[in-house]
Chains A and B, each alone.
Chain A
């Protein structure tokens, strides 16, 4: 029993059955398929034992948004309990092909990114193709799939010429989305970091493993994390911060992989302790008075959604804090628990509608704002917001780059 297992088991006894988690759970609010975090978490855990069949599979409808952990007044690690319970189901029953596929963001990205991307993107916009994908694989025909990029972020970075004035170094963890779908997010991050006097290094890396974790493929997730740790640990040991724009990737490096997969080596801990979400990093610069504030005013009023995976860092709202330094810019917080996509959850045929219902509050808020632009730190959430509202969504780092007047 590792220390997480022990704390998970012990935290069962901290549950006082107040139902605050169930009341806050965005999934239980919209469907009977998920009886709520209290039931599938601390309550059902008492019926789960190694070597015995899983008594109830409804935990598979947990989206992993971690709102339950956030609101629990007694510190029960509900989301971790659920993730491990799901892995036990996968271990018993095997991983469906669809989940195997959507869990492999890196593989799918690598195959779809490149000069052939426009053709692929065009193909995936055709409804017969999506119908076939739904029938054969089980990805909902309406689910928001990202458009692949014609070039990777890494290819761009290789040709990128950094300014010679850098005084300090950071290592950039771009994640699959920035590399294969949204290189512009990475470019904005590099521009902002370089503007603030950093030399940006690009370590070798692969998928952080979060989609593997949330689909219960712990074996593959473990090898992904071990490979990343091997590639990143030297930076961490030299005190070079590892900074990422995908808030769920950084959360995985910091906590989800170590805790859920029970990986606790010194290297794993060093990488966890050395990893920062980009706005967490920029906020800490601002707190020390080291962030440049040569902003052009942006006279805009924009809706901002902090992803559930960002709130799970338990850092407050770093992007709000930093963007509030831009003169003229007013952000309206969504106060929505989750957009519903939860990584790969809302792509699935049987969960698409749940995801859309979960996100309804957010979509209403974005539409009511009348804005043609929404901000959100996580890529799958941005795709979901745009899919549901038709409103363009950007990473907050793009607005920050714009405020600095940086050419991308």
Chain B
């Protein structure tokens, strides 16, 4: 069917762009090859890592680096985007808290502290400045949950001066006996009897150890996490906080679900499992894209397109061993280091980062893709998120920030 806008990609950038356009009354579809990067990330909003005041630092960055995605989208778009995404989360009963003017420091599954600007309300009690109030902290987990080791987390927090101890809880009786990945655990936490038993064990530990705060893996329910945290706080008398786990990320899935609800409410269509293979245009106008489907391709028609397919990690860019980096959906020209030998610095942990991760699509002020001669490739395409050039989102700690700012900006065009 014919859409006014088709957004390709279901990460934060694509979801926000689709939502903003659908809320303007357009017929919108979000088309994606699979579940988006939300399921891989911590479910927090990183704006800029290397700053106490990310918003202030972004204001300086947009002056110094005019091709950076933040500069293209503008700081105002970032601020509006943050307000909108917080509204989406709030409407799903899953508020995001924080401040664009001050980074929070959140413990990771290794007990390191990671700067980020907004976190779900279920995590905020673990913020480092609160952990540093001198009162004892308990990090608790379950043996059955892989890749979450409370003693390791506690030891690393202690090494940084926080009074943390680690403990394993007993798995309450359940019919399941294996494969306790984060999502299975989250479903168990939706059962009142399960979390009541966890609460009982924690209450005993809190009483004996005098813990003021308890950190748990971020598996406290898929759909009602705020309620689960509140309930555990009531049972234990301690402040509860979630610590992100390895993928699949339950907090990321909650964010995805919140957007899914908002998009459905706004009348947008979602097609997951449609891998875009190519586009078809004439001159600088993109008419159609074709997605992989059973026995033949599916053709999609729209007046306007948003490309939100991600970088190398998300699969929007593909790095070949031959030294070529290509854009996978529309075959757009990629700004890339000239040869494969220039992709990487000599040192793995070089502070300047590796040039290959700044590869991406160059765009004009309206996010339209440009070729090597700076000519617009398609006038009706906007490129958003990690597919954009001149930014290394993971190293710069701005993955969600540029996704939201550019996604929102594409919604306004």
Determine the chain B residues whose CB is within 8 A of the CB of A69 once the complex forms. 273
Determine the chain B residues whose CB is within 8 A of the CB of A19 once the complex forms. 181-183, 247-248
Chain B residue at minimal CB-CB distance from A275: B295
Indicate whether A287 sits within 8 Å of B178 (C-beta atoms), given known contacts A254-B295, A313-B294: no
CB distance A32 to B176 under 8 Å? yes
Determine the chain A residues whose CB is within 8 A of the CB of B39 once the complex forms. 18, 20, 23, 73
Determine the chain A residues whose CB is within 8 A of the CB of B272 once the complex forms. 70-71
Shortest CB distance B262–A (Å) = 14
CB distance B40 to A321 under 8 Å? no
From A20, A35, A286, A333, contact of B34 by CB (8 A): A20
Chain B residue at minimal CB-CB distance from A251: B294
Determine the chain A residues whose CB is within 8 A of the CB of B295 once the complex forms. 254-255, 258, 272-273, 275
22 examples of A-B residue contacts, CB within 8 angstroms: A18-B39, A18-B248, A20-B35, A22-B179, A23-B183, A24-B35, A32-B179, A35-B178, A73-B314, A74-B315, A254-B295, A255-B294, A272-B295, A283-B1, A287-B301, A312-B273, A314-B274, A314-B292, A315-B274, A315-B298, A316-B31, A316-B298
User: How far apart are the CA atoms of A311 and B295 in the complex, in Å?
Assistant: 14
Determine the chain A residues whose CB is within 8 A of the CB of B35 once the complex forms. 20, 24, 71, 73
Contact residues, A9-44 vs B (CB, 8 A): 18-20, 22-24, 28-29, 32, 35-36, 39
> Quick check: is A389 within 8 A (CB to CB) of the other chain?
no
Indicate whether A72 sits within 8 Å of B34 (C-beta atoms), given known contacts A20-B39, A287-B301: yes
Determine the chain A residues whose CB is within 8 A of the CB of B2 once the complex forms. 287
> Quick check: is A317 within 8 A (CB to CB) of the other chain?
yes
9 new A-B contacts, CB < 8 A, other than A20-B247, A315-B298, are: A32-B176, A71-B273, A73-B33, A73-B39, A73-B314, A74-B34, A287-B1, A287-B2, A335-B264
A residues engaging B (CB < 8 A)? 18-20, 22-24, 28-29, 32, 35-36, 39, 69-75, 251, 254-255, 258, 272-273, 275, 283, 286-287, 311-317, 320-321, 333, 335
Shortest CB distance A289–B (Å) = 10
Could you tell me the dominant secondary structure of chain B's interface residues? loop
User: How far apart are the CA atoms of A62 and B29 in the complex, in Å?
Assistant: 31
Determine the chain A residues whose CB is within 8 A of the CB of B1 once the complex forms. 283, 286-287, 321
CB distance B293 to A314 under 8 Å? yes
User: How far apart are the CA atoms of A287 and B292 in the complex, in Å?
Assistant: 19
User: How far apart are the CA atoms of A74 and B247 in the complex, in Å?
Assistant: 15
Determine the chain A residues whose CB is within 8 A of the CB of B102 once the complex forms. none
Contact residues, B256-314 vs A (CB, 8 A): 260, 264, 269, 271-275, 291-296, 298, 301, 314
6 nearest A-B residue pairs (beta carbon):
A70-B273, A254-B295, A73-B34, A255-B294, A23-B183, A314-B293
Indicate whether A23 sits within 8 Å of B248 (C-beta atoms), given known contacts A32-B179, A316-B29, A316-B271: yes
Indicate whether A23 sits within 8 Å of B294 (C-beta atoms), given known contacts A18-B39, A72-B34: no
From A71, A254, A317, A321, contact of B294 by CB (8 A): A254
User: How far apart are the CA atoms of A329 and B76 in the complex, in Å?
Assistant: 41
Determine the chain B residues whose CB is within 8 A of the CB of A286 once the complex forms. 1
Determine the chain B residues whose CB is within 8 A of the CB of A273 once the complex forms. 295-296
User: How far apart are the CA atoms of A383 and B30 in the complex, in Å?
Assistant: 31
> Quick check: is B175 within 8 A (CB to CB) of the other chain?
yes
Shortest CB distance A183–B (Å) = 27
Contact with A along B29-48 (1 / 0, CB 8 A): 10101111001100000000
> Quick check: is B230 within 8 A (CB to CB) of the other chain?
no
CB distance B301 to A312 under 8 Å? no
Contact residues, B1-21 vs A (CB, 8 A): 1-2
Contact with A along B47-67 (1 / 0, CB 8 A): 000000000000000000000
Shortest CB distance A336–B (Å) = 13
Determine the chain B residues whose CB is within 8 A of the CB of A315 once the complex forms. 274, 293-294, 298
CB distance B294 to A314 under 8 Å? yes
Shortest CB distance A60–B (Å) = 17
Determine the chain A residues whose CB is within 8 A of the CB of B178 once the complex forms. 32, 35
> Quick check: is B322 within 8 A (CB to CB) of the other chain?
no
> Quick check: is B187 within 8 A (CB to CB) of the other chain?
yes
Determine the chain B residues whose CB is within 8 A of the CB of A32 once the complex forms. 175-179
Determine the chain A residues whose CB is within 8 A of the CB of B362 once the complex forms. none
User: How far apart are the CA atoms of A32 and B264 in the complex, in Å?
Assistant: 32
CB distance B294 to A312 under 8 Å? yes
Indicate whether A73 sits within 8 Å of B36 (C-beta atoms), given known contacts A19-B247, A316-B29, A316-B271: yes
Determine the chain A residues whose CB is within 8 A of the CB of B404 once the complex forms. none
